[in-house]
Amino acid sequence: MHWKVLIALLAVIVAYLFLGAVGFHFIEGPTEETRQADLQALTAKFMSEHSCVNPSNLTAFFTQVLDAYQAGYRLGPNGSVVAPAPKWDYPSAVFFCMTVITTIGYGNLSPSTSGGQAFCCVYALIGIPLLAILLSGIAERVKSAKERIQACECWKDKGRVPEVVTTLLYFVFGILLFIFVPAASFTALEGWTFSEGMYYSFVTLSTIGFGDYVAGQKVVSAIYKFCLSMWIYLGLVFMSGVISTVQSLIERGAKKVDAKIDASDLPSETGEEPDEAAHPASKQNVVEQQKSNDNKGDNGIELDVVT
């Protein structure tokens, strides 16, 4: 790829980052400021109604409650404390291993001991390539099936129509099967909204894995977590196909620009003479120079070499 195209792509990515930051700043920023103002107002109201409470003691209490909440503890009826479910039971450990080898990494569960952290590194080093080989093989099968459909006699003399139709069908059925249906399931089982379910599905299958939403925290069934794992494995194949298609479109455009730049730089870089057919005036000048040299030769003058 030409260095000019690389610089242009770098500039586009930098601009894309800054534009994305502007979008998130103006979309998420006001909500964050509102929550902060509400918390300050709530704290001020509590302190005015309970003047006997020391502010430093209240801050320490809030900190302990927040730490307990992040650890999974919840308040039950009548103010009772409900302990979280075991984090490292076998189904949860299997689900964690799935997030490791798929590189999703939600962050809600991670090893805390030095032995567990070392084992996680070795486990990921072997598991990630193994899964990559498996997903690559499945993707090849899907691609082969797609090519067989395109090669059907019913598409004869249809040009690029088979490619466009099969790609659209792939996207439509894939989005329906791996985004919409799971989002509806999460709405019923996890208590999320449909948009939150779609958001979680995309963030998971694209391996972004923020960890703000994690399925299987409320429903602890081993069968449910097994189904989640199968959905993620198959959904990764679909999402990799989508990302590969978008990437190929961008690369196709970049190659066209690259070819145009190479074509425009070819004469100056190679030192070749311009095409005589494209420059008839130059050809005429060469012929006139040759005639002049012939005349000089007839008069006993040394002939010039025309290159």
pTM metric for this prediction:
0.71
The verdict on residue 289 lying in a domain is no
Asked if 120 and 243 sit in the same domain, the reply is yes
The verdict on residue 142 lying in a domain is yes
227: CATH: 1.10.287.70
Per-residue pLDDT reduced to its tens digit, 47-57: 888 888 888 98
Asked if 120 and 49 sit in the same domain, the reply is no
Where does a domain end: 56, 82, 108? Answer: 82
The verdict on residue 117 lying in a domain is yes
What's the whole-number mean pLDDT along residues 135-153? 82
The number of domains in the chain is: 2
Asked if 74 and 121 sit in the same domain, the reply is no
The verdict on residue 60 lying in a domain is yes
Element (H, E) at 74: strand 74-75
pLDDT at residue number 287:
47
Q: CB 95: neighbour CB atoms within 10 A?
A: 22
pLDDT band at residue 278 using 50, 70 and 90 as cut-offs: very low
The residue range of the domain holding 108 is 90-260
pLDDT at residue number 251:
85
- C-alpha to C-alpha distance for 94 and 85, rounded to whole angstroms: 15
Asked if 96 and 134 sit in the same domain, the reply is yes
Q: CB 183: neighbour CB atoms within 10 A?
A: 20
pLDDT at residue number 152:
75
Q: CB 193: neighbour CB atoms within 10 A?
A: 12
Where does a domain end: 260, 278, 295? Answer: 260
The verdict on residue 299 lying in a domain is no
> Of 179-183, 203-207, 219-223, 298-302, which gets the smallest average pLDDT?
298-302
Asked if 99 and 192 sit in the same domain, the reply is yes
pLDDT at residue number 279:
46
- C-alpha to C-alpha distance for 194 and 183, rounded to whole angstroms: 6
Residue 1 in tokens: 């790829």
Residue 88 in tokens: 């490292």
Per-residue pLDDT reduced to its tens digit, 56-114: 988 898 899 888 888 778 887 777 888 777 888 888 899 999 999 999 999 888 998 99
- The answer on pLDDT for 186 being more than 90 is yes
What is the number of residues in the chain? 307
DSSP of 218-268, one letter per residue?
S---HHHHHHHHHHHHHHHHHHHHHHHHHHHHHHHHHHHHHHHHHHHHHHH
More confident call, 162 vs 22: 22
Nearest in space to 95 (alpha carbons), one of 268, 286, 230: 230
pLDDT band at residue 288 using 50, 70 and 90 as cut-offs: low
The verdict on residue 303 lying in a domain is no
Where does a domain end: 31, 64, 82? Answer: 82
What's the whole-number mean pLDDT along residues 202-207? 94
Residue type, 39: L
- C-alpha to C-alpha distance for 92 and 96, rounded to whole angstroms: 6
The verdict on residue 284 lying in a domain is no
Residue 16 in tokens: 């894309």
More confident call, 95 vs 220: 95
Asked if 141 and 46 sit in the same domain, the reply is no
- The answer on pLDDT for 280 being more than 50 is no
Asked if 55 and 135 sit in the same domain, the reply is no
Asked if 11 and 119 sit in the same domain, the reply is no
- The answer on pLDDT for 150 being more than 80 is no
More confident call, 277 vs 58: 58
The verdict on residue 237 lying in a domain is yes
Asked if 94 and 73 sit in the same domain, the reply is no
Asked if 65 and 189 sit in the same domain, the reply is no
- The answer on pLDDT for 211 being more than 70 is yes
Per-residue pLDDT reduced to its tens digit, 9-41: 889 889 999 999 999 999 999 999 999 999 999
Query: Is residue 171 within 8 Å of 180, Cβ to Cβ?
Result: no
Q: Report the chain's mean pLDDT, rounded to a whole number.
A: 82
Asked if 75 and 126 sit in the same domain, the reply is no
Asked if 128 and 233 sit in the same domain, the reply is yes
pLDDT at residue number 266:
63
Q: Is residue 81 helix, strand or coil?
A: strand
* Cα dihedral sign, 177-180-184-189: positive
What's the whole-number mean pLDDT along residues 262-281? 54
